[in-house]
Every structure is written in structure tokens, then in C-alpha cells.
């Protein structure tokens, strides 16, 4: 059974902009899934449905086979299991310092102070930003903010982590280090789902891939096969990786 | 990000206990408001300046600039004391000058006291302090969100201004007026959108609309600093009382 699934998911933004059209998607435990597609294809909109931020216009979201519960308590339980890192780190950081910001999630999990502190330190170290702990969040570089935002999500040790363009804007070495960190997180039981425009990275890193175009899934399959297939990639308006 | 927020987040007193800073800042404010402007207000201003520049390490130039910002309002208010409507029409008030000078001094000193607190303490710490002092949670959250909202609006406005300038939107006054109008018209929807996205970000980390709790670093009160603050405030109060008793009558005449 898939860990998280979307069934015939359709979403129209208020104002009538269609964003997702009858999406069927299954996320299997332990299989890294890359979501690719051109700008405006609906990748972010999909992720926002997978943690209950947006509610489908029609269709369903299933968590371990059961339709999700949209009550306040249900949403809260859902978001404990499914973490989300937004495309723009500025939408996520709100506390005065990096340390305080990263502690927000663990405290919301109901952890005690000592354990929350340990989680924060672990997350900061994993992302190589332990030295930024005391820095003001609004005075960081783009890449530093990005890593602080990701630390805030991984400190909650979710079962599934949804990342919207995690490596966009990071320098090559930081991007590699982030992927290594995500692998460690995965080794401890977190399933990774991410969107990206970096086809080569998705090819190297993901197990599975889905290609989006205009709110529909145009192809899916093992990343190693799908992303080198020029004909299939072209249907999503993407360039294949040189195989 | 206003200069005040930036300084509050980076100054040398950032990690001092909020109890110390609130006692000093609000103490200075209280003294400025309750004791005669001369000589206490001048002393309050001097203490605040020393605290902020020598203590917290804010450059003097920056301190003067921030302190001068509200001076326009103060001077306008004080100017009305200079004139009065007498039997012969509008004329200069007899004791107008010392009263206007006194008011200006007192108001500037009061602002300097308040700034001593706000320049050394990030707004989020102030809010955490309010919570600790048992101010109702609703008020505290509204204060926090208002502050965050203002920051977002400020950031959004500055980003839009930069983008307009880069596309030559501010090269002459005609275009500047047009660009500024566009910016103002777009600021609210943009800020609301950002606030909404921030809410999404917080909700993803388990925020349920209740308390925005984070692990605030413990900042123990330093007995040495607390003693110094109490001593300073006591000395200022004594100075004010002495003056009220007429022990400094000559000095009291000076501003006139
Ligand atoms: N808040 C919104 N209100 C209305 N329409 C929106 C909103 N957000 C996105 N859309 C529209 O929904 C569609 C899908 O957008 P989405 O952000 O999911 O794309 P994306 O694949 O993440 O693109 P990108 O690669 O640029 O991040 C687009 O047509 C977009 O214009
Ligand atoms: Mg997107």
C-alpha cells in the first residue's frame, strides 16, 4: 500500500485558474520521488495538497490507504507525518534567530525543552549551519535561509518530507551536502518527495519521477529511464539528460 | 526590516536579560515624564546616549539619526507654546521660550528612554517578555503578528522600490510619483499574499493558530548590571527631587 496517494485530484484556484487536472499519484515508502515540469505546471500546487494546505476541488488524498481527515485534529496529525519545505524560505522563517526558528516545529510536536533543543542542534549540524544558530533569520544569505528552513522541517523528523525546489539557488557544494543530508534523513525512515528544475540532479538522486505539464501527469517511471528519454521528456516541455 | 529592527537584532546588549533593559528603558522614560526637564531630562538623555552608544555599541551617528526622527513632531508641538492669543492679537508668549525648550527636552528624553529598550531588544523578545509578565495571550499574539506584518510590508515595499528603480521608475519626479502610486496600490495585496504564505509555512510545521512558541535562549539577569541600573535610576530620581526642592534654582533658569 502506498504511504500517501492522490486520487483523481483536481484543483482550481479561487478566481478560476485551473492548476491540477485529475492527478493520480502514489508515494511509496522509501522511494525518492522527483516531480518535474515547466514553470506553472502545478508542482507547488500538488505539494500543497499533500500536506493539507490546499483542499482538492474534487478528488481525494489518502494517507496509508485511508482518506485524510480535514478536521483540525486530523490536519494536525497529518502534518506531523508529512513535512513541507516551501519554495521561498522567507515564507517559513519568522523567529528572531535561526535556533529559535528551528525549535518551532519540535515544540509544536509537544517535545520537552531538552529534547527540542537536541533536535535543533542535530538539524543545524546536519545542514552545516550550527555556526549560524544565533544569527538573525532576516540577515542571512539566500542559501543560508534555505538551509535554515529545511532544518526547521527535518527537526520534526517527518515520515514524508515534501521539498519544493530544495536545491534551487544553492551553490554546487551546498546542494551536494543537502542531498547527502537528505539521504541520512531517509536512512532514518523519511520518504523524500521533491520538485526540481534540475533534471540531471533528479536523474542522479531520485528513484522515481513524474513529469507534469499543464496540471496533468504526462509520464511517470524510474528516474534513470524516464529522464533520459528525449521523446517523453519533450512531451513535458523538458530537455532530457544526456545519457 | 527597519533600522531599529536591524540594530535590535545585532547590538551588543542583544543577549542581556530583558528585565534589565526594560527596567532601564522604562525607568528612564518614567523619569523623563515625571521630573522637571532641567536638569533631569538632560541627564536622562545623557544616560540613554551612553547606554546605547557605549553600552550596546550603536554608532553615535545612527543613534542621533534615529533620535532626531520624531523631533519634527516634538518641535511642531513645542512651537505652539511660543505664541499665544492675547488682547492684542497673536503675540509671543511671555514664558514661551523656556516652556517650549522644557517640552522639547522632556519629550526627547522620554523618546531616548523608550529607544534604549527598543534598540537593544528585538520585538519578538519584547513580545516574549509580555507573555512572561502575564499580559493576555490574545494581545501578545496580535502584537507579534502586527509587528511581523509591518516587517513584511516594509520588506515588500523596499523590494518593489528596488525593482522599480532598476527599471528607471524613479529617474524624474513625474515617474517617481507614478511609481510611488503604483507601489502604494500594490502593497496591501502583496503583503497580504506574503502573510498568507507565511501562515502556510507555519502551519506546515504544526502551528494551529495558537501560541507561536520557540525555545528562547535563557538570559539570566546579571546582578552587577541590575545594581548599576538601579543605582543610575536612583541617582537621576534624586537629581529630580533635589531640583524640585529648589536646590538648583540657578541651573533651573538656564534654558531661558
Ligand atoms: N495563489 C494562486 N492563485 C491563483 N492561481 C495560482 C496561485 N498559485 C499558483 N497559481 C496558478 O496555478 C498554476 C500552477 O502553479 P504552481 O505554482 O503549482 O506551478 P509550479 O509547477 O510550482 O511552477 P514553478 O516551477 O514556477 O514553481 C499556474 O498557472 C499558476 O499561475
Ligand atoms: Mg513552484
- pLDDT per position as a tens digit, A57-97: 999 999 999 999 999 889 889 999 999 999 988 888 888 78
pLDDT confidence of residue B251: 47
Residue with the smallest CA separation from ligand 1 atom 29 is A40
Select the more confidently predicted residue: B88 or A145. Answer: A145
- pLDDT above 80 (res B248): no
Asked whether A17 and B167 are in contact (CB, 8 A), the reply is no
Q: What is the mean pLDDT of residues A194-222?
A: 96
Residue B126 has a pLDDT of 83
* Lowest-pLDDT range of A33-47, B77-91, B111-125: B77-91
pTM of the model: 0.78
**What pLDDT is stored for residue B1 in this prediction?**
60
Where residue A229 falls among pLDDT bands split at 50, 70, 90?
very high
Q: How far is A71 from chain B (nearest CA, A)?
A: 12
Q: How confident is the model at residue B134 (pLDDT cuts 50, 70, 90)?
A: confident
Contact B215 A86 (CB under 8 A): no
Q: How far is the CA of A85 from the centre of ligand 2 (A)?
A: 12
Q: Kindly indicate the confidence band of residue B136, based on its pLDDT and cuts at 50, 70 and 90.
A: confident
Give residue A105's pLDDT: 92
Does a cis peptide bond (omega within 30 degrees of 0) precede residue B232? no
Question: What is the residue with the minimal CA distance to atom 6 of ligand 1?
Answer: A13
Alpha helix ranges (H) inside chain B: 3-10, 18-34, 42-50, 60-68, 71-82, 96-120, 123-132, 137-166, 173-204, 223-244, 249-253
> Chain A residues with CB-CB distance to B under 8 A?
48, 51, 53, 72, 76, 79-80, 83-86, 88, 90-97, 99-101, 103-105, 107-109, 113, 116-117, 120, 134, 136, 138-139, 149, 152-153, 156
What's the whole-number mean pLDDT along residues B103-122?
91
Pocket (CB within 6 angstroms of ligand 1): A 13, 15, 17, 19, 37, 39-45, 87
Given this model, what pLDDT does residue B70 score? 84
pLDDT value, residue B252 = 47
**Tens-digit pLDDT profile for residues A130-157:** 999 988 887 888 889 999 999 999 999 9
Chain-chain contact of B215 with A116 (C-beta, under 8 angstroms): yes
Domain locations along chain A = 4-235
At B128 the three-state DSSP class reads: helix
Compute the distance from residue A45 Cα to the ligand 2 centre, in Å.
Answer: 7
Task: Identify the CA nearest to B214 among candidates A116, A73, A179, A70.
Answer: A116
CA-to-CA separations, A191 to A35, A77, A82, A154, A155, in angstroms, rounded: 14, 17, 9, 12, 15
State whether residue B2 sits within 8 Å of chain A by CB. Answer: no
| pLDDT recorded at residue B244 | 58
Report residue A13 as a C-alpha cell.
484556484
Contacts of B202 in chain A (CB under 8 A): 92, 94, 104
| Residue owning the nearest CA to atom 3 of ligand 1 | A13
Which atom number of ligand 1 is nearest to the Cα of residue A46? 18
pLDDT above 90 covers a percentage of chain A that reads: 77
Q: Which carries the bigger pLDDT value, residue B212 or residue B51?
A: B51
Inter-chain CB pairs, A–B, below 8 Å: 95
pLDDT for B146 beyond 80: no
User: By alpha-carbon position, which residue is closest to atom 28 of ligand 1?
Assistant: A40
Ligand 1 closest atom vs CA A165: 27
Q: What is the ipTM of this complex?
A: 0.81
Instruction: Name the residue with the closest Cα to ligand 1, atom 19.
Output: A40
- State the pLDDT confidence band at B243, using cuts at 50, 70 and 90: low
Q: Does domain A4-235 have CATH number 3.40.50.300?
A: yes
- For B10-46, b/e burial (b = at least 16 CB within 10 A) is ebebbebbbbbbbbbbebbbbbbeebbbbbbbbbbbe
As a whole number, mean pLDDT of residues B28-54 equals 92
User: Chain B closest CA to A211's CA: distance in Å?
Assistant: 25
CA A99 vs CA A91, A94, B11, B212: distances in Å: 17, 11, 18, 14
Give the nearest ligand 1 atom to A87 CA. 27
CB B94 within 8 Å of CB B83: no
- The torsion angles phi and psi of A133, rounded to 5 degrees, stand at -50, -45
Which tens digits make up the pLDDT trace of A32-66? 999 999 999 999 999 999 999 999 999 999 999 99
Give the model's pLDDT for residue B178. 85
Model confidence at A237: pLDDT above 70: yes
CA distances, B151 to each of A120, B8, B11, B172 (Å)? 26, 14, 19, 28
B161 or A20, higher pLDDT: A20
| Distance of alpha carbon A63 from alpha carbon A81, whole angstroms | 10
Q: Residue A236: helix, strand or coil by DSSP?
A: coil
% of residues, chain B, pLDDT over 70: 92
Which band of pLDDT confidence, cut at 50, 70 and 90, is reported for residue B240?
Answer: confident
Which one of A96, A116, A139 has the shortest CB-CB distance to B124? A96
User: Is the pLDDT assigned to residue B27 strictly greater than 60?
Assistant: yes
Amino acid at each position: 500500500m502506498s504511504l500517501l496517494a492522490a486520487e483523481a485530484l483536481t484543483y482550481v484556484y479561487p478566481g478560476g485558474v485551473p492548476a491540477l487536472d485529475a492527478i493520480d499519484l502514489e508515494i511509496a515508502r522509501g522511494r525518492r520521488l522527483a516531480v518535474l515540469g515547466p514553470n506553472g505546471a502545478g508542482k507547488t500546487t500538488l505539494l500543497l495538497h499533500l500536506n493539507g494546505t490546499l483542499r482538492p476541488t474534487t478528488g481525494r488524498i489518502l494517507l496509508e490507504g485511508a482518506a485524510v481527515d480535514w478536521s483540525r485534529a486530523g490536519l494536525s496529525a497529518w502534518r506531523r507525518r508529512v513535512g513541507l519545505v516551501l519554495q521561498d524560505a522567507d515564507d517559513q522563517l519568522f523567529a528572531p534567530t535561526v535556533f529559535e526558528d528551528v525549535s518551532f516545529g519540535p515544540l509544536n510536536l509537544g517535545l520537552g525543552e531538552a529534547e527540542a533543543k537536541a533536535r535543533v542542534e542535530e538539524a543545524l549540524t546536519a545542514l552545516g549551519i550550527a555556526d549560524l544558530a544565533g544569527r538573525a533569520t532576516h540577515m542571512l544569505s539566500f542559501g543560508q535561509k534555505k538551509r535554515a528552513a529545511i532544518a526547521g522541517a527535518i527537526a520534526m523528523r517527518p515520515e514524508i518530507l515534501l521539498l519544493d525546489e530544495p536545491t534551487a539557488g544553492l551553490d554546487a557544494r551546498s546542494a551536494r551536502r543537502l542531498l547527502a543530508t537528505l539521504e541520512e534523513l531517509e536512512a532514518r525512515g523519511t520518504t523524500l518527495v521533491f520538485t526540481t528544475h534540475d533534471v540531471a540532479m533528479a536523474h542522479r538522486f531520485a528513484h522515481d519521477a513524474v513529469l507534469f505539464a499543464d496540471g496533468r501527469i504526462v509520464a511517470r517511471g524510474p528516474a534513470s529511464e524516464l529522464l533520459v528519454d528525449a521523446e517523453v521528456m519533450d512531451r513535458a516541455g523538458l530537455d532530457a539528460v544526456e545519457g | 526590516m527597519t533600522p531599529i529592527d536591524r540594530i535590535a537584532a545585532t547590538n551588543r546588549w542583544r543577549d542581556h536579560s530583558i528585565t534589565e533593559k526594560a527596567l532601564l528603558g522604562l525607568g528612564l522614560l518614567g523619569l523623563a515624564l515625571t521630573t522637571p526637564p532641567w536638569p533631569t531630562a538632560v541627564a536622562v538623555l545623557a544616560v540613554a546616549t551612553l547606554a546605547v552608544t557605549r553600552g550596546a555599541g550603536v554608532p553615535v551617528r545612527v543613534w542621533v539619526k534615529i533620535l532626531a526622527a520624531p523631533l519634527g513632531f516634538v518641535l511642531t508641538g513645542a512651537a505652539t507654546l511660543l505664541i499665544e492669543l492675547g488682547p492684542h492679537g497673536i503675540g509671543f508668549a511671555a514664558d514661551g521660550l523656556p516652556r517650549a525648550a522644557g517640552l522639547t527636552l522632556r519629550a526627547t528624553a522620554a523618546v531616548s528612554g523608550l529607544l534604549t529598550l527598543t534598540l537593544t531588544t528585538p520585538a519578538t523578545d519584547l513580545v516574549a517578555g509580555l507573555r512572561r509578565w502575564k499580559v493576555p495571550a490574545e494581545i501578545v499574539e496580535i502584537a507579534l503578528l502586527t509587528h511581523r506584518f509591518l516587517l513584511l510590508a516594509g520588506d515588500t515595499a523596499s523590494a518593489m522600490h528596488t525593482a522599480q528603480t532598476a527599471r528607471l521608475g524613479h529617474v524624474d519626479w513625474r515617474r517617481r510619483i507614478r511609481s510611488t502610486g503604483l507601489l502604494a496600490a500594490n502593497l496591501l495585496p502583496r503583503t497580504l499574499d506574503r502573510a498568507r504564505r507565511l501562515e502556510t509555512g507555519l502551519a506546515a510545521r504544526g502551528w494551529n493558530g495558537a501560541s507561536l512558541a520557540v525555545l528562547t535562549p535563557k538570559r539570566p539577569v546579571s546582578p552587577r548590571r541590575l545594581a548599576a541600573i538601579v543605582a543610575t535610576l536612583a541617582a537621576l530620581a534624586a537629581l529630580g527631587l533635589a531640583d524640585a526642592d529648589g536646590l538648583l534654582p540657578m541651573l533651573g533658569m538656564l534654558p531661558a
